[in-house]
């Protein structure tokens, strides 16, 4: 019937195009918000494809897939991206020593550009005209998802149901879910909002909204509270090759199992928790608690190895780069030229970052106790106070003279010190 009939053929292509432009790929987590979003979008005429990325959150996948189908998803696409997450996101961030506001190792922030990249890719493969996410309208994640999607494909429509929909409370959402046969165990639901992946767990809301209140015990989702951790502690040795962790206690491991094992070990010893007031990109301060055992241990170890192998100028300059790098990650600017350029800089600094770091994990503390590298710049002959000292003390004298020379000159000029005479004064400040 269609064969040979040009009109009909064009007509079917048009229908096909319409269907595709009516298809949206939703970043789906399996929780209440994204499950409700599937239904909500379906109700508005969208064909919804749910996309789930396994970033190591460790939640039961089967139930989530089933829930998406019940909610109305025409298809559920699941991708295990843990390897890619570790190699292309965690490692570059570790090499850069990226830490946001001194405490946040960026687990959630790092996963977003990866998930968004796959979201766009699924949209392309399925010919969808839109992508969607389940982030609220006051967090950083909406920015990260949408900025990434816009950078990677500015022609895609972006929908943020949670920002748009009519539900005023969690109860209203649950009511809507129940009406549509979507089962989410609300009874068992904790008061916290959680986001979990291989690199860490972010905990917020509920009792944590009072910044003066100590995080209650039930906010420990993963890590053993330090006072319950074994008194004996544990020692762990990490080997790095060019900035990448490659072995744990002399056992060679791939990145994913290495991070997983270190997570288990660190968590058992109460290591890796931080509690901070954080400056969100969208202008508000929020209180967040993070649990990131492996991230904490690895970043302490990596930074320590750099202290040993990088010269002072490079080390200090790189510390400035680390701050900028962390900001870019936090701000959703992963896929940008500056981030690429900083990666190139960081890569050249990692050529010497090979060696071993030994750490002690004890009741919430993670302490470096030893470091060693074939590229180490520590020379005992120069550092020792013992007999073997080779340091040229005479050279120090001239060095100090020149080092202080500009300021000596300034003082003489400002206080009119002539011919060695100096009137004693208690005003020590030098004018600029
Ligand atoms: N504040 C963190 C960030 O912006 C984590 C966000 C997700 N946190 C959560 N508890 N759901 O990266």
Q: Tell which one of 31, 34, 55, 108 to mutate to probe ligand 1, the residue whose CB is within 8 A of the most ligand atoms.
A: 108
What does CATH list as the number for 193-310+352-376? 3.90.1260.10
CA–CA dist 123, 27 (Å, integer): 11
Per-residue pLDDT tens digits for 265-309: 999 999 999 999 999 999 999 999 999 999 999 999 999 999 999
Strands 365-372 and 355-362: antiparallel
**Residue 419: which pLDDT band, with cuts at 50, 70 and 90?**
low
Q: Same topology for domains 7-80+107-179 and 193-310+352-376, yes or no?
A: no
CA angle 168, 162, 182 (to 5 degrees): 85
Q: Is residue 310 predicted with pLDDT exceeding 60?
A: yes
Ligand 1 atom at minimum distance from 202 CA: 10
Ligand 1 atom at minimum distance from 195 CA: 11
For 372, list phi and psi in degrees, rounded to 5: -160, 140
Catalytic residue among 29, 33, 35, 219: 33
The CB of 193 under 6 Å from ligand 1? The reply is yes
Whether pTM exceeds 0.75: yes
- C-alpha of residue 140 to centroid of ligand 1, in Å: 7
Q: Tell which one of 195, 219, 221, 285 to mutate to probe ligand 1, the residue whose CB is within 8 A of the most ligand atoms.
A: 195
Work out the number of other CB atoms within 10 angstroms of the CB of residue 319.
12
Per-residue pLDDT tens digits for 321-359: 999 999 999 999 999 999 999 999 999 999 999 999 999
pLDDT over 90, % of the chain: 85
Weakest mean pLDDT among 42-46, 179-183, 310-314: 179-183
CA–CA dist 12, 19 (Å, integer): 10
Q: Which of 266, 233, 238 is nearest to 253 (CA)?
A: 238
Work out the number of other CB atoms within 10 angstroms of the CB of residue 247.
15
What token pair was written down for 264? 């288990």
**Residue 9: which pLDDT band, with cuts at 50, 70 and 90?**
very low
Domain residue ranges of the chain, discontinuous segments joined by +: 7-80+107-179, 193-310+352-376, 379-432
The CB of 108 under 6 Å from ligand 1? The reply is yes
Does 193 participate in catalysis according to the annotation? yes
Q: Tell which one of 104, 107, 139 to mutate to probe ligand 1, the residue whose CB is within 8 A of the most ligand atoms.
A: 139
Does 331 participate in catalysis according to the annotation? no
Q: What is the 3-state secondary structure (H, E, C) of 163-197?
A: HHCCCCCHHHHHHHHHHCCCCCCCCCCCCCEEEEE
Strands 157-159 and 130-132: parallel
Q: What is the pLDDT of residue 418?
A: 62
User: How does the average pLDDT of the chain come out, rounded?
Assistant: 93
Catalytic residue among 141, 144, 287, 354: 141
Does 33 participate in catalysis according to the annotation? yes
Catalytic residue among 21, 79, 80, 193: 193
Residue ranges of E strands in 294-364: 355-362
Domain 7-80+107-179 fold: Rossmann fold (3.40.50)
Q: Is residue 370 predicted with pLDDT exceeding 60?
A: yes
Weakest mean pLDDT among 36-45, 61-70, 188-197: 188-197
């Amino acid at each position: 019937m269609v064969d040979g009939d040009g009109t009909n053929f064009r007509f079917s292509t048009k229908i096909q195009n319409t269907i595709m432009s009516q298809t949206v790929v939703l970043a789906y987590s399996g929780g209440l918000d994204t499950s409700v979003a599937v239904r909500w979008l379906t109700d508005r005429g969208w064909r919804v494809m749910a996309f789930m990325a396994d970033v190591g959150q460790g939640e039961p996948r089967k139930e989530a897939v089933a829930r998406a189908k019940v909610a109305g998803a025409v298809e559920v696409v699941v991708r295990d991206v843990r390897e890619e997450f570790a190699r292309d996101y965690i490692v570059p961030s570790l090499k850069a020593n990226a830490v946001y506001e001194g405490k946040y190792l960026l687990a959630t922030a790092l996963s977003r550009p990866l998930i968004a990249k796959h979201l766009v890719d699924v949209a392309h493969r399925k010919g969808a005209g839109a992508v969607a996410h389940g982030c609220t309208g006051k967090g950083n994640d909406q920015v990260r998802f949408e900025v990434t999607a816009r950078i990677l494909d500015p022609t895609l429509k972006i929908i943020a149901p949670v920002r748009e929909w009519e539900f005023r409370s969690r109860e209203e959402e649950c009511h809507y879910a129940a009406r549509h046969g979507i089962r989410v165990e609300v009874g068992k639901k904790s008061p916290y909002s959680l986001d979990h992946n291989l690199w860490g767990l972010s905990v917020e809301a509920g009792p944590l909204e009072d910044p003066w209140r100590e995080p209650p015990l039930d906010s420990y989702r993963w890590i053993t509270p330090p006072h319950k951790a074994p008194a004996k502690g544990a020692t762990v040795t990490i080997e790095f090759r060019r900035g990448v962790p490659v072995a744990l206690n002399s056992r060679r491991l791939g990145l994913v199992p290495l991070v997983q094992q270190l997570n288990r070990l660190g968590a058992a010893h109460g290591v890796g928790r931080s509690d901070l007031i954080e400056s969100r990109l969208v202008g508000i301060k929020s209180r967040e608690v993070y649990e990131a055992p492996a991230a904490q241990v690895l970043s302490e170890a990596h930074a320590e190895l750099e202290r040993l192998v990088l010269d002072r100028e490079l080390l200090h300059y790189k510390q400035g780069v680390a701050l900028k790098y962390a900001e870019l990650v936090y701000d959703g600017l992963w896929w940008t030229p500056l981030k690429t350029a900083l990666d190139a800089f960081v890569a050249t600094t990692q050529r010497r970052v090979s060696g071993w770091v030994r750490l002690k994990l004890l009741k919430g503390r993670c302490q470096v106790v030893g470091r060693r590298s074939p590229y180490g710049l520590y020379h005992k002959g120069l550092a020792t106070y013992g007999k073997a000292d080779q340091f040229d003390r005479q050279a120090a004298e001239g060095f100090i003279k020149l080092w202080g020379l500009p300021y000596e000159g300034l003082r003489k000029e400002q206080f009119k010190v002539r011919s060695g005479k100096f009137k004693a004064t208690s005003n020590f400040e030098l004018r600029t």
